[in-house]
Amino acid sequence: MKSSYREALRAGIRDAMQRDPRVFLMGEDVGAYGGSFAVSLGLLEEFGPGRIRDTPLSESGFVGAGIGAALGGMRPIVEIMTVNFSLLALDQIVNNAASLLHMSGGQFHVPLVIRMSTGAGRQLGAQHSHSLEGWYAHVPGLRILVPATLEDARGMLWTALEDPDPVLIFEHGSLYNVAGELDDNAGPVDIDSAAIRRHGSDISLITYGGTLPAVLDAAEQLAGEGIDAEVLDLRTLRPLDEATILESVARTHRAVVVDEGWRSGSISAEISARITENAFFDLDAPVGRVCSAEVPIPYSKHMELAALPSVERIVAAAQEAAGARG
């Protein structure tokens, strides 16, 4: 069937609510308005205000309420409008949700799922456009998911709700309108493993989320130049599927990590370090990285595009890494 990324997310929420009466959705404008990105459109009419709950504009307050509901036996899905606004709930997410299991000596699980949009490319200004999922991937006690495909948008939610501990799902804003074919029987998917989206033998292009389309485009362009690129979609940033990353690098002997986050202290830095630590003798070239410019994301369209990873920059980084071929 035809579906957009947005519709796939909605189908995942609907499926979870039909499966388990403990599941409910809460967040700013998720009810009558249908969600800031129209993901929950129509769900209020279908499930009623008891399970589709509009909240005040207080991220700390409603994330805290979600934590309490999870501790009380419910399965809340908390929607935060953008990752930038999640910083207003950082204490609840990091000091409470991520820590309660450990601070209670294993007595209290927090089966909470938090969804939020991330990323730039839509001229929404710096307050709405940053990619901070790498920050959260630093925190023990959290699982970090970054669905890039319709199948993952549809299927990751239910698997996340089955996790007894908190899961954060980052939905790149540029993907909401992406449309394609989704199997009629699409359902829950694995959230432990990375996925090879394109097999190749010359270089591993490692990415996730909103940059996957650009990386696939770059791989096609590189193929025209005789460079056979493998594209690896991480899918989960914590815990990283290190085994699949290292297996890919062992095959191709070169790697470029594409990450919309800032280069300094980024998830790309972590992946690069792990490759260097564990696959150094498999490498025929230094690990390359393509990240966003180290500036608050600009509003101006041409400046925003200049700040973000592009197909041209990905191709150039891959060409440089592959320069020693032959």
Same domain, 177 and 205: no
Half-sphere exposure of 137 (CA within 13 A, CB side): 25
d(CA 158, CA 160): 5
The token pair that represents 5 in the structure block: 């990324």
Q: Phi and psi of 286, rounded to 5°?
A: -60, 150
The token pair that represents 122 in the structure block: 């839509």
The token pair that represents 197 in the structure block: 């989206």
d(CA 178, CA 270): 29
Half-sphere exposure of 293 (CA within 13 A, CB side): 13
The catalytic residue among 128, 130, 172, 253 is 128
In a domain, 190, yes or no: no
What pLDDT, on the 0 to 100 scale, is given for residue 324?
Answer: 47
Same domain, 25 and 174: yes
d(CA 283, CA 233): 20
Within 10 angstroms of residue 240's Cβ, the number of other Cβ atoms is 18
Same domain, 158 and 18: yes
Same domain, 12 and 108: yes
Same domain, 155 and 21: yes
Cβ-based neighbours of 108, under 8 Å, separated by 6 or more: 71, 100, 101
DSSP state of 195: E
Domain housing 130: 2-181
CATH number at residue 122: 3.40.50.970
128 flagged as catalytic: yes
The catalytic residue among 59, 133, 171, 260 is 59
- The residue ranges of the chain whose pLDDT is under 50 are 324-326
Same domain, 171 and 223: no
Which pTM does this prediction carry? Answer: 0.96
What pLDDT, on the 0 to 100 scale, is given for residue 323?
Answer: 85
Q: What is the pLDDT of residues 216-244, one digit of tens each?
A: 999 999 999 999 999 999 999 999 999 99
CATH number at residue 291: 3.40.50.920
Amino acid identity of residue 109, one-letter, is H
What pLDDT, on the 0 to 100 scale, is given for residue 46?
Answer: 97
